[in-house]
Structure 1
Amino acid sequence: MKDRIVELFFWFAAVCVASNIYLLIPIYTELAEGLSITYDEAVFSSTIFTFCYATGLLCFGPISASFSKRNVLFFGMIASFCLTLMITFSTSLTSFYLSRGLQGFVLGSFAPVAYAYCFDAFTVNRRTFIIAIINTGFLMAGIIGQLISSLTVNVLDWRAVFYFFGVCYLCLSLGAFYLLPDVLVQKKGKPVDTFTTGRLFQTPLILGLSITFITLMSFVSIYEEFAQYYVEQEKELFYSRCIALIGTPLSLFSSFWIKKYSLINILLTCIAIIISSFVLMILTKHLIIITILSLFFVSAVSIFIPSLITFIGELAGDKRPTAISLYSFTLLTGASIGPLVANLLSFQYVLLLFIVLFGIAFIFLLSYNKLTQNKIRD
């Protein structure tokens, strides 16, 4: 029973942490009205949050190497609780930007520390499963965060959204302290990886990181565009998000499909589904059809992200910890640009942009696969 509770803890923590990337998407108008700011200024707050979150991902990994990872998770959640409540006291654009940026940075303490904790505290099979649960939580947060904020604003106001998540972080801090077993800090005799190692500058690895950059950027941009394009159909859009949520648990099966069909084939298939979804979205304006296509898109991304992590991890070899940290930073940097892309371009042009970018990624991955196969034959 305790094992199941620990798994639930990591899933819930992943959802609550990553939800903050997306929770403002349905409530920009209410936020702008509440703070007496423009819609564009409200959108830019998501960029500030996500960039600070990405920076936190880079900083807290090395910090956790010198301290108890359980304690870092505990204090990270306590700090997140305090800073999330601080957001509710914002009365100006400057105070809101500052508090959201600080909140994002501190929330960056979860992902790298949680992954590292799994390697230290659990056996191989259990570690793999819990990491898959964390990844699933991150993916589900893309929809759940929007659902929670839109529901809460309909009943209360935008501040209530942050009250809710503040209480969640307080509960998670208690869970980290009482549920997670402490593990000894591993003393290493040699310095940790740096970003200057040659293995991290392989062309395939750069390709993997480039694809990482556009993946979450496309996810955030598309849902930003949905919120703007279907602004008069908020109720229908709420149900659309609920339906898309069905596709997120597929990430749990990604390791099985990778073993059965090979990693490159899974990546290529997912990109093909993403491109096809975007092409068909351009051809229709009906929300019902868009909902069905978004389900395919979310399902493909749910399988694509853990497969991409595996691809980058395999290429990095003994530099895997540094590569995964760089992956996390690149993923969230792309997400931070997503709201800006959606704000600058129309729905159709956003779709065209990502069709081109993913098309280029498909061509390069296909070329890499053929090159690899030729080397094996030789």
Structure 2
Amino acid sequence: MNIYPPVKRPTAVALISTGFLLAGIVGQIVSSSIASSLGWPYVFISFAVVYVLAFLLTLAILPTVPVKHTGLSLFAVWKQMFGLLRDVSLVKGYTITFTLLLSFVGMYSSLGGYLANTHGLKPEQLLSIRAAGILGMMMSPFAGKFTARFGYKRVLLAGLIGATTGLWLEWAMPTVALITLASVVFVAGISIVVPTLINIIGILGKQARGGAVALYTFILFLGASAGPIIAALAGFKVISLVFVGILTSSTLLSLTLRIPKEGR
């Protein structure tokens, strides 16, 4: 990210965030299609080939960035990074971070079974509902422009409110069409929050920006791993309300964040 001038970093971060959020839905669609046509072992084989190609493209395309050797051991680097948790503002940011993919992955893990059992949807119909979430992700590339105009805190708050409202509507809506529309609203909110929060964490990290963002990524995907575990504990109606409560807490917590560049 250091190769981008500061003014372009929010947009660059937004595009990167769009990529991995998009992969969260596209991956489900592609893997389900491969598993149903060829069998589940071919899912792993196919993605292994994709990763090898991605590795080769990374070597060929990405520019080389000079690395400053600090002489620190791996343990010292980890100690330094987790030492950031002594910063109250960063802890607040990381708490919100944990809830994002927790609710995103958890919602999709629970929604499929609910729609199949309650509304009788077939696997191919479930895939189309997941694909509809891509529409919500179209908001992510604009997160940089939104923050430049309205400020990080306002955009973060708006995204969290949107995600919370969308998830609540998924719980409340009686038809598949309305549930699908609500899921798009939910995904749009998450898609705005993820890149916005990365930039906020970077600002709060100050001189330790790299370590702060690395810890952000770790906590973000820690939430993604916990999502399906929580989703398996109860039915969609219960779990969706649990996630609504969690996102509501994150929304309230975001109000207490002080972001230096914005003076609040």
Question: Quick check: TM above 0.5?
Answer: yes
Q: Deviations over 1:213-247 (max 9, x none)?
A: 11101011100011211234122221111211122
Q: Whole-Å Cα distance in 1 between the matches of residues 89 and 246 of structure 2?
A: 16
User: How many aligned positions are there?
Assistant: 254
Deviation at 1:130, TM superposition (A): 4.5
Match of 1:287 among 165, 176, 181: 176
Structure 2 SS opposite 1:300? helix
Task: Give the Cα separation in 2 of the matches to 1:169 and 1:345.
Answer: 34
CA contact (8 A) 1:200 1:323 kept: no
Which of 14, 17, 22 is 1:135 aligned to? 17
Q: Would you say the 8 A contact 2:202–2:213 is kept in 1?
A: yes
Q: Which amino acid aligns with 2:170?
A: M
Q: Quick one: distance in 1 between partners of 2:180 and 2:149?
A: 29
CA distance in 2, matches of 1:363, 1:322: 26
Distance 1:308 1:180 in 2: 25
Is contact 1:200-1:319 (8 Å) kept?
no
| Residues 176 and 365 of structure 1, relative CA distance in 2, 3 Å threshold | closer
- Aligned alpha-carbon RMSD (Å): 2.6
Task: Indicate the residue corresponding to 1:225 in structure 2.
Answer: 110
Tell me how far apart the structure 1 counterparts of residues 31 and 233 of structure 2 sit (CA, whole Å).
24
1:168 is aligned to 2:50: yes
> 1:257, CA displacement in angstroms?
0.3
Partner of 2:95: 210
190, 195, 202: which one pairs with 2:81? Answer: 195
TM-score, length-normalised on structure 2?
Answer: 0.86
Spell out the pairing of 1:265-344 with structure 2 (5 A cutoff): 265-344=154-233
CA distance in 2, matches of 1:304, 1:217: 13
Give the match's secondary structure for 1:344: coil
1:205: Cα distance to partner? 1.5
- 1:101-112 equivalences under 5 Å are none
1:124 maps to what in 2?
A: 5
Alpha-carbon distance between aligned partners in 2 of 1:317 and 1:184, rounded to the nearest angstrom: 20
AA aligned opposite 1:275: T
Change (3 A) 1:330 1:181: closer
Gaps of 5+ in 1: 1-117
The superposition leaves residues 39-59 of structure 1 with CA deviations (integer Å, 9 ceiling, x where unpaired) of: xxxxxxxxxxxxxxxxxxxxx
5+ residue gaps, structure 2, are none
3-state SS of 2:69 partner: coil
2:125 aligned residue: 236
| 1:274–1:296 Cα contact (<8 Å) kept | yes
Does the 8 Å contact 2:25/2:130 carry over to 1?
Answer: yes
